[in-house]
Structure 1
Amino acid sequence: MKARFRGVCPECGSEIKVGQEITRYHGRWVHRSCAPEVEPESE
């Protein structure tokens, strides 16, 4: 998802700029690169 508003990433402390890729992590919006990748469970 792309950011529609400016903000601050709680993981790295850097600015989130409009148009940057973001994702939800622990209930807050962070840069996509700041959220750890979730590995799919293997069966």
Structure 2
Amino acid sequence: MQLTFDQIDMYKVTPMIRQLVQEKEKYPDCLIFFRLGDFYELFFD
């Protein structure tokens, strides 16, 4: 079973994941990279 963005409780996630969900709703076909320190991370892709 795969979690979809409409199943995520936005009050229980971190600000970074909240931002990711908002951007993925605007750009569903794009990869969104987050820079964490010296590395880039992808989430839910």
**TM-score band (shorter)?**
under 0.3
Name the structure with the higher strand share.
1
Name the structure with the higher helix share.
2
Query: Using CA pairs below 8 Å that are at least 6 residues apart, which structure has the higher relative contact order?
Result: 1
TM score, norm. by length of structure 1:
0.25
Which structure has the larger Rg over C-alpha atoms? 1
TM score, norm. by length of structure 2:
0.24
